[in-house]
Structure 1
Amino acid sequence: MFGPLRPVAPVRPLRDDHGPTARALEDLVRAGVPGVTAQVRDRAGVWRSAAGTGDLRAGTPRGTGDHYRVGSITKTFVAAALLRLEADGQLDLDDTVDRWLPGLVRGHGHDGRRITVRQLLNHTSGIRNYTADEDFDREYFRAPGFYEHPYHTVAPGDLVRIALRHPADFPPGTSWNYSNTNYVLAGMIIERITGRPYGETVRDRVIRPLGLSSTTVPGTDPRMPRPGGRAYSKLSADPSATRVHDVTHFSPTLAHAAGEIISTSADLTRFYSALLGGRLLPPEQLAAMTTTVESPRHPGAGYGLGIVSRTTSCGVQLWGHGGGMPGSLSQAVSTRDGRRVLAYNLNGDWTEAAGTIEEAEFCESGS
């Protein structure tokens, strides 16, 4: 168990017109998060700041250039890569899953012959979420399971089979439910189309064209690049748990195409700015990506193809995605034109930012 959290480190802004956002970072540290790092990219340039601690043992501060696991923000990258393949005529969003992965999705109400690629990407497939499986959760996200095999490689097909042990959530296209299994399947479809690991396609179609030099698809590599702080988790579903574990290094295969990417706030703001600014996808594919369906559990929010739309309390519509991995909570959001983008990361996974940083930036800070 680590010692008490250290005092809030000084905030290091480049510009002074984002005071409310900087204070929101400090407030999260006071609420118990070890550290927070953030960047804003807008018409005036770049603002970045960090608060709190990056390494609890060494007492070093959180850095503005830290690498971190972005979790489900990976889904926007994967959807963009698939849409670029579609633009090249290599697939159609209304292809069935069975066309590309014949016979894989079957049983307990799941049927890949009735599910389309589009329904995978917007979570209307009805396929059960494998991370909701209690045995999987206990084995990979809780103590002591996490420490029994932190470097164990999990095949994507095995992740799908975990989901298929359970009944489908609903018939395809009749409702909405967030499922990481959808994006594991999307990654497998990319691999079937290209004959290469899906991560290579994401690198070639998204990461390299945009010059995202700090963004990686690690595959089976459990290590984190530098610079970067440590990642911390309580590895417990008990809200009263107090022990904090260092979970910086582990196998990213437990997430595969649903959440394995590592990036920085600088790269994430560049990515969403280019994506929503129309510099990555042709107009037809960007229109498809930003066509949303409603989430019954999230009134006012819409889910497109790997991207979420919601509105702040002051009426600003934001597009982006959030992500969680052991020891890491991240968010990246942008205005629809890509001209103002915010990305941030918490290196502790037990305190949600719950929109406070977005509200501070888009409703209180200057631009």
Structure 2
Amino acid sequence: MTLRTVRRALVGLAAAALTTTALTATASAAPADAGPGHGGHTATQAAMEAQVEAGVPGLLGQARDGDGIWQGSAGVADLRTGRERLPQDRFRVGSITKAFVSTVLLQLEAEGRLGLDDTVEHHLPGLVRGNGNDGSRITLRQLLSHTSGVYNYTEDPDVHAQLSTGFPEHRYESRTPRQLVAVALKHRPDFRPGTRWHYSNTNYILAGMIVEKVTGHPYGHEIDRRILGPLGMRSTSLPGSSPLMPSPHGRAYSKLLSTDPQAPVQDVTELNPTWAWSAGEIISTTGDLNRFYRALLGGKLLPERQQKELTTTVSGGDELPGARYGLGVATVTLSCGVPVWFHGGGIHGSVSMASGTADGRHTAAFNLNGDWSGDPGALLEAEYCGTVASGSGTGEHTAVRKLAALN
């Protein structure tokens, strides 16, 4: 697969996420030498610095491989003070949340408490109906693989306006999961269940509701006791309706989806994430994301049957050129022939990427603290292939942003 095709695929995934002047890059790296297939993480650091030169305020990255842990940064965490980004900084991970939700549902299947071929109607009777929507025809597997056809509520014009130009007015408002689903059900389905692929945050709102129906507990409680606690992910949290970020953290910057290059940069660090809920509310660190992907891909969280279901993929068609989607994770073969599992996550002022090889022995996680520029796909190419490319984040580089956005 060519580098051009790979980057179209990666940007296609990250563009399902939300979608200042260039700063001088700064860098810090913990001692770690050669990574698999290339000499150390020099290319990764260079790719991060290229993102800053292209306009991203700051980046944070961590890689784990057979040689240990490498930590890198570029740019700043705070445009006002100039503070550099710290390895322990928390940030919003957006749609990377989806892998946590799918893992819980797969664990529940392994326990015999539900089946992936159960219908939505079976667990949430009467909820998904009207305008051609029929929960009795949609399975849990189709929710997790984005093949349900249910409309993406963040594509609704009113919601989109609230998340973009109306963000200053609506940033602290709370939404309930049922309200988010109701927005989606005002629209007809995009297609018959199981016939196509289209990224829809509504799928994972429904998945979170099913976790709560089956367990009788908040879905965040199940993530905490099944994943965060056992893995020691002490820097990861689910904020609920709180707009605040736990310390330490930098700032998050956005142009609120404006396509105007001269649009003002706004500080969007504080927001009520209930509009994302189980589709994208988690806060974490690069270290915790690597810990999660290492365990998930390494088979430490799921039995063999459920691990196979996690990584059984469907084509994303023209939306995900060159990539395939499993259950909350996606895969692409990079230009150097290395297959990588990954998911992006985008929410106001934060674009993140979590990734790993199939065995989980080499993982890498990144965060960009601006949502209008940058190329997460270039970071994967740099880390796993040693390829340094431009950080422009335009044109063909828009495919990893698809999965990283929540619009």
TM interval, short-chain normalised: over 0.9
Q: What are the superposed Cα offsets for residues 238-264 of structure 1, whole Å, 9 maximum, x if unpaired?
A: 242430000001001010100000000
Establish whether residue 105 from structure 1 lines up as the match of residue 128 from structure 2: yes
Letter in 2 for 1:175: R
User: Is the CA contact (8 Å cut-off) linking 2:27 and 2:72 kept in structure 1?
Assistant: no
What residue number does 1:333 align with? Answer: 355
5+ residue gaps, structure 1: none
Establish whether residue 15 from structure 1 lines up as the match of residue 36 from structure 2: no
What residue number does 1:155 align with? Answer: 176
| Alpha-carbon distance between aligned partners in 2 of 1:54 and 1:64, rounded to the nearest angstrom | 11
**1:37 aligned counterpart, secondary structure:** strand
| Alpha-carbon distance between aligned partners in 2 of 1:196 and 1:19, rounded to the nearest angstrom | 45
After TM superposition, the structure 1 = structure 2 runs for residues 112-131 of structure 1, keeping only pairs within 5 Å, are: 112-131=135-154
Establish whether residue 44 from structure 1 lines up as the match of residue 70 from structure 2: no
Establish whether residue 223 from structure 1 lines up as the match of residue 244 from structure 2: yes
Alpha-carbon offset, residue 353 of structure 1 = 1.3
Alpha-carbon offset, residue 108 of structure 1 = 1.8
After TM superposition, the structure 1 = structure 2 runs for residues 348-367 of structure 1, keeping only pairs within 5 Å, are: 348-364=370-386
User: Is the CA contact (8 Å cut-off) linking 1:184 and 1:258 kept in structure 2?
Assistant: yes
User: Is the CA contact (8 Å cut-off) linking 1:5 and 1:56 kept in structure 2?
Assistant: no
Give the % identical residues.
53
| Alpha-carbon distance between aligned partners in 1 of 2:108 and 2:309, rounded to the nearest angstrom | 14
User: Is the CA contact (8 Å cut-off) linking 2:28 and 2:71 kept in structure 1?
Assistant: no
Cα 1:32/1:196, change in 2 over 3 Å? same
Cα 1:108/1:196, change in 2 over 3 Å? same
Give the stretch that moved more between structures: 121-130 or 12-21. Answer: 12-21
What residue number does 1:311 align with? Answer: 333
5+ residue gaps, structure 2: 1-19, 34-39, 388-407
| Alpha-carbon distance between aligned partners in 2 of 1:346 and 1:59, rounded to the nearest angstrom | 16
User: Is the CA contact (8 Å cut-off) linking 1:21 and 1:357 kept in structure 2?
Assistant: yes
Q: What are the superposed Cα offsets for residues 32-52 of structure 1, whole Å, 9 maximum, x if unpaired?
A: 000000000111110011110
**2:63 aligned counterpart, secondary structure:** strand
Alpha-carbon offset, residue 354 of structure 1 = 4.2
What residue number does 2:186 align with? Answer: 165
Q: Which runs of 4+ in 1 moved over 4 A?
A: none
What residue number does 1:67 align with? Answer: 90
**1:120 aligned counterpart, secondary structure:** helix
Q: TM-score, normalised by structure 2?
A: 0.87
Give the stretch that moved more between structures: 126-135 or 59-68. Answer: 59-68
Cα 1:352/1:6, change in 2 over 3 Å? closer
After TM superposition, the structure 1 = structure 2 runs for residues 19-30 of structure 1, keeping only pairs within 5 Å, are: 19-30=42-53
Higher RCO (C-alpha 8 Å, min separation 6): 2
| Alpha-carbon distance between aligned partners in 2 of 1:66 and 1:246, rounded to the nearest angstrom | 17
Establish whether residue 259 from structure 1 lines up as the match of residue 280 from structure 2: yes
What residue number does 2:118 align with? Answer: 95
Alpha-carbon offset, residue 12 of structure 1 = 3.0
Letter in 2 for 1:114: R
Alpha-carbon offset, residue 177 of structure 1 = 0.5
Letter in 2 for 1:179: S
Cα 1:10/1:333, change in 2 over 3 Å? closer
User: Is the CA contact (8 Å cut-off) linking 2:164 and 2:256 kept in structure 1?
Assistant: yes
What residue number does 1:85 align with? Answer: 108
User: Is the CA contact (8 Å cut-off) linking 1:11 and 1:22 kept in structure 2?
Assistant: no
Alpha-carbon offset, residue 236 of structure 1 = 3.4
| Alpha-carbon distance between aligned partners in 2 of 1:112 and 1:64, rounded to the nearest angstrom | 43
User: Is the CA contact (8 Å cut-off) linking 2:32 and 2:68 kept in structure 1?
Assistant: no
Aligned pairs, how many? 361
Letter in 1 for 2:98: K
Q: What are the superposed Cα offsets for residues 268-310 of structure 1, whole Å, 9 maximum, x if unpaired?
A: 0010001111111111111000000001122321111111011
Aligned match for 1:284, one of 305, 318, 334: 305
User: Is the CA contact (8 Å cut-off) linking 1:14 and 1:49 kept in structure 2?
Assistant: no
User: Is the CA contact (8 Å cut-off) linking 2:64 and 2:290 kept in structure 1?
Assistant: yes
What residue number does 1:273 align with? Answer: 294
**1:60 aligned counterpart, secondary structure:** coil
| Alpha-carbon distance between aligned partners in 2 of 1:6 and 1:173, rounded to the nearest angstrom | 46
Q: What is the RMSD computed on CA atoms of the aligned residues?
A: 1.2
| Alpha-carbon distance between aligned partners in 1 of 2:332 and 2:253, rounded to the nearest angstrom | 29
